[in-house]
Structure 1
Amino acid sequence: MTIKGSCLCGDVTFEIRAEFKNFYLCHCAHCQKDTGSAYAANLFTGKEALVWLTGEDKVKTFKLTPTRHSKSFCCQCGSAVPNTTNGFCSVPAGSLDSQISRTPDAHIFTASQADWESGLEGLKSYARFPE
């Protein structure tokens, strides 16, 4: 199995050449800050599965000391890209170009979940930006 992915500007491209072991939606305060959203959607596999195709030299990694939290991103457009600093490969689901059929396994760090995130099931939905 080969899954392709890239950053927003296209300078960084990569492949994941293995099955994903886990798919988590992380609600920790660190993931909220580095995504600017309610949670991070990350897939996990072994770090040997990651193959950089282009732009590896444009990948920067921020490590939040003294925690284990880190984020890799394209230094051109800022998009999140795979990270291998903790001995495994964490792949932002939104960075994938290939479709995957896997659904998330679990929500994690829900004790840090944003207050405004609950009770959204009945919220209006639009296929495009509303007018």
Structure 2
Amino acid sequence: MKGSCLCGDVKFVITGDIQSFYLCHCIYCKKGSGSAAAANLFVASADIHWLAGESLRVFYQVPNSLHVRCFCSQCGSPVPMVLDESGLVMLPAGCLDDDITKAPDAHIFIKREAQWERQAVHAKCFAGEPDSY
């Protein structure tokens, strides 16, 4: 799988089996993504080959928690990070340049779901941007 950040300064190729795909609604993922949830793939025994920008990655750990984010220092886009010695990688789904064929396995921390999120299924859909904001 190939991926990159928004500005394109961080680029990578990752190999490994997708173990799970979660849409996380915890407060940290909502704040970190700026959205209703973070879409994260977990890739077992992954091997990441950084094509560009490995040194541009920044890590941030929420104080007094286990929550860590990894992002591009130039544009702030979430990028992959290795979670443990086994090679398990947390891969933000949105940073992939390839299509993801795996459907999400679950919504997690649903107790923290944004109140407006369930109403979003009734919102209008546009193929591109709307005519006006």
- TM bucket by the smaller chain? over 0.9
Q: CA deviation at 1:49?
A: 2.2
Cα pair 2:21 2:41 within 8 Å, conserved: yes
The CA deviation at 1:29 is 0.5
User: Partner residue of 2:119?
Assistant: 119
TM norm structure 2: 0.91
Structure 2, gaps ≥5 residues long: none
Which protein is richer in strand relative to its size?
Answer: 2
Change (3 A) 1:77 1:47: farther
Q: How does 1:1-131 map to 2 (within 5 A)?
A: 3-46=1-44, 48-84=46-82, 86-87=83-84, 88-131=88-131
Partner of 1:120, secondary structure, is: helix
CA distance in 2, matches of 1:34, 1:114: 14
The alignment partner of 1:121 has SS state of helix
Using the aligned pairs only, state the percent identity. 45
1:47 and 1:39 map into 2 onto residues whose CA distance is 25
Secondary structure in 1 matching 2:116: helix
- Using the TM superposition, name which of 17-26 and 112-121 deviates more: 112-121
Query: What do residues 52-81 of structure 1 show as CA deviations (whole Å, max 9, x unaligned)?
Result: 121100001101121111110110111110
Letter in 1 for 2:106: A
- Alpha carbons 2:19, 2:43 under 8 Å: kept: yes
Q: Which runs of 4+ in 1 moved over 3 A?
A: none
Q: Give per-residue Cα distances to partners, 1:34-65, cap 9 Å, x unaligned.
A: 01100000000136422212110000110112
Distance in 2 (alpha carbons) for counterparts of 1:52 and 1:46: 18
Displacement of 1:100 in angstroms is 2.1
What secondary structure does 1:116 align onto?
Answer: coil
- Is 65-74 or 23-32 further displaced after alignment? 65-74
What is the rounded CA distance, in whole Å, between the counterparts of 1:11 and 1:47 in structure 2? 25
Shift of 1:16: 1.1
Cα drift, residue 123 of structure 1: 1.5
